[in-house]
Amino acid sequence: MNVFVSCPRGMQYLLEKELNTLGLMSCKPVSAGVELSAELDQVYTILLWSRIANRVFVELASGKIDKAEDVYSHAARIPWQSHFGVDNTFSVNFSGTNKHITNSAFGALKVKDAIVDYFRDVVGERPNVDKDNPQIRVAAKLSKGVLSISLDLSGESLHKRGYRIDKGAAPLRENVAAALLMQAGWGDVCSDNASFLDPMCGSGTFCIEAALMAMDCAPGLSREEWGFDYWVKHDSRKWGALVASANERATTGREAFNNKIIGYDADARVISVAWENIKRAGLHEFIHVEKKSVSDLELPPNVEKGLLLTNPPYGERLGEVETLMALYRDLGDKFDEYFHGWKAGVFTSNEKLEKALGWRYFKRYKFVNGALDVALLLFDLNADNRFKTPWLSSQEYLQNPSLWRVANQERAAMLANRLKKNQKQFSKWAAKNDISCYRLYDADMPEFAFAIDRYESEQGEVYLYIQEYAPPKSVNERASLERLSEGLKTIADTCEVSVNQIFVKQRSVKKGVSQYEKEHVEGEGFVVRENGARIKVNIGRYLDTGLFLDHRAIRRWIKAESKGKKVLNLFSYTSVVSLHAALGGACSVLSVDMSQTYLRWAEKNFALNKLKGGNYKFERANCMEWLENAVSENESGNENQYDLIFIDPPSFSNSKRMEGVFDVQADHKFLIESAMSLLSEDGKLVFSTNLRKFKLDVSIENGFEVVDFTRKSLDKDFERNQKIHKCWLITHESSRT
């Protein structure tokens, strides 16, 4: 018989090896399974003994599909009565498509029709279809123009051993756990009374599968229903003999069992789940599980050396990578403290977390778990394989000045000279223009991809806010960290600023994430000066400080333009533009933003400058909805006219406080046109965006007077980076700029 044994993706070679040990040598690994030729008793052996297989299919027919009706023809030629009777229920599962069969449901219907018509012609009756619990499962697979029709003799997937009902978080399937145990070498060491330990055991799957393997217990013994139960060619005598032999081996294995199988987990709930699973498997006398975190992990007394294997959280599903770094580092430390001489395996999908373990693996096997690419790392836990210095993430380098080192004196000297030159150039200009914070450096040298902003408080204290632009994946990580460390050390020494007053963040391009995903939570902060204004800033928590330095020239221009004007500031952030308008003599200023945190901050900025009263209003609202309502009110006769409007929206926002998603490229046309309907006849609108690939809609340029204001909107410290934002001055056609 031609047989296909399916398995989890990436495990076909492990399955081939397992089938070889079961006496099946003519195996051909293919995608997600193994093809082979086998006799009936060998098929039974696979069903009963394979720990890795998902399903076992016996092929009934195959042929090319040149047109849709070929599916029906191939299925109709099979002598179905020699496989099941008219009284049996059946189902058809169809996978694959081509230009003739574009829908798997259509393919399944063709096979079903062929089976039903066959029985009507031969017997005069038809069997019934049962999609939920069929007695016979027919599987049809279309691949590369060839259709294969088979019987699935498994019934439910073979990974379902029957002992697991409830699950812990992110559970491994039973056959995946068994495959990883085999790959880690448990089958080779368990016969020597070796111990097994899983420090993050979840629902106990590794522990149960390890015990079943050590006892030589066939995984299929606990199953009561099979896909061959109603198959006409089923040989109950052969099957019964195999089951009897397997029971004898399991009994012998339980009697000889002398391994210690131990599982720990920090979550008491999943430990109770694991214990219930262990009892259902009939292994409560042989496995010990208890609540214990990795930080409390230690080796119990009288435990022989053996295998430690675990499936810790990856970061993608159960936690963020930076949070999990400490967990992996803890685990690596426990390896060093208690497990010298053991073998260890860690199943994970994140290379940063791999490195945090601090051990050199001797094998790294790639697999797929669900939708994730994962790896099984295998370690020999001895002193030679322990890294002498721990691996640290770039964030840890960023926040730890004791790690900052100069690796290349010549390169560091070039950066120091550039910083001194920039400081000399900008300090005089800043003092002359009443500016106490400015951009000192902006990736001036390709070796050091930093933006350095210098903030000086009213008390004369200097702070540096350094943003490291995240390097592309093509850049060697070790080299990147070396330059990062060197750059930070050079900046601290050259600028003569205390490391306690240097704040470092890493910026990276985030897709599909709100620009204001995490609001800046205001801390103590300090006050700076700009063009006669006192402004509260905070550089200790999140990426933004409360003051966009690149808009300084725009704010100065707005201050000069605002006297006697009604001013509207949309997406106002901490409303520093509004503050300058008020200081410039605006008769009224309205600031609109969706964040109450930022609006409270704005009110404090106004209070700092002794600006109070009803002429200065702060409104919490979704700016798109606010505009829509304001335009509607105008159309109803309640005129809301503004002489000066400033709009600086986020590039993207999917904030929980708004319905839908804001995308500046897609939404700016509505945004500008709506705002222009609120602009007085001789008013001016300033629109700014920092989206690099932004293109202004042609209809805006055709409908209004539009002047590219970008160059004028950049102060001296931003002239070397013309792409930091784009800016336009927009007026009605009847007016003149």
Q: pLDDT tens digit string along 88-131?
A: 999 999 999 888 888 899 999 999 999 999 999 999 999 999 99
Q: What is the pTM of this model?
A: 0.65
pLDDT at 505: 79
Lowest mean pLDDT among 176-190, 380-394, 499-513, 671-685: 499-513
H/E run at residue 426: helix 409-432
pLDDT at 504: 83
Give the pLDDT mean for 614-623. Answer: 94
More confident residue, 358 or 733: 358
Q: Per-residue b/e over 630-653, b at no fewer than 16 CB within 10 Å?
A: bbeeeeeeeeeebbbbbbbbbbbb
Judge whether residue 524 has pLDDT over 70: no
pLDDT at 506: 66
Judge whether residue 349 has pLDDT over 60: yes
Instruction: Identify the band that residue 368 occupies on the pLDDT scale cut at 50, 70 and 90.
Output: confident
H/E run at residue 680: strand 679-689
d(CA 84, CA 116): 12
Mean pLDDT across the chain? 90
Lowest mean pLDDT among 61-75, 469-483, 550-564: 469-483
Cβ-proximal residues to 546 (8 Å cutoff; 6+ apart), any chain: 520, 522, 525, 535, 536, 537, 538, 573, 574, 576, 601
Instruction: Identify the band that residue 521 occupies on the pLDDT scale cut at 50, 70 and 90.
Output: very low
CA distances from 100 to 62, 75, 145, 716 (A): 16, 16, 9, 65
Instruction: List, for residues 428-463, the tens digit of each pLDDT value.
Output: 999 999 999 999 999 899 889 889 999 999 999 999
Judge whether residue 142 has pLDDT over 60: yes
Strands (E) in 470-556, as ranges, are 502-507, 526-530, 533-537
Instruction: List, for residues 469-493, the tens digit of each pLDDT value.
Output: 766 666 676 777 788 889 999 999 9
Judge whether residue 659 has pLDDT over 70: no
State the amino acid at position 480 in one-letter form. Answer: S
Q: In the chain, helix, strand, coil percent, each to 5? A: 35, 25, 40
Instruction: List, for residues 263-321, the tens digit of each pLDDT value.
Output: 999 999 999 999 999 999 999 999 999 999 999 999 988 899 999 999 998 765 434 67
pLDDT at 520: 38
Which structural domains are found in the chain, ordered by start? Answer: 2-152 (3.30.2130.30), 174-215+257-391 (3.40.50.150), 395-507 (3.30.750.80), 549-731 (3.40.50.150)
Long-range contacts of 36-42 (CB under 8 A, 24+ apart): 36/3, 36/5, 37/1, 37/2, 37/3, 38/1, 38/3, 39/1, 40/1, 40/233, 40/235, 40/238, 41/235, 41/238, 41/242
pLDDT at 320: 64
Instruction: Identify the band that residue 150 occupies on the pLDDT scale cut at 50, 70 and 90.
Output: very high
pLDDT at 101: 86
Instruction: List, for residues 574-602, the tens digit of each pLDDT value.
Output: 999 999 999 999 999 999 999 999 999 99
Q: Which two tokens stand for residue 676?
A: 């222009």
Judge whether residue 136 has pLDDT over 70: yes
Judge whether residue 639 has pLDDT over 80: no
pLDDT-above-90 percentage for the chain: 73
Give the pLDDT mean for 401-423. Answer: 92
Instruction: Identify the band that residue 514 occupies on the pLDDT scale cut at 50, 70 and 90.
Output: very low
Strand duo 616-620 + 679-689: pairing: unpaired
494 contacts 457 by C-beta, under 8 angstroms: no
Judge whether residue 515 has pLDDT over 60: no
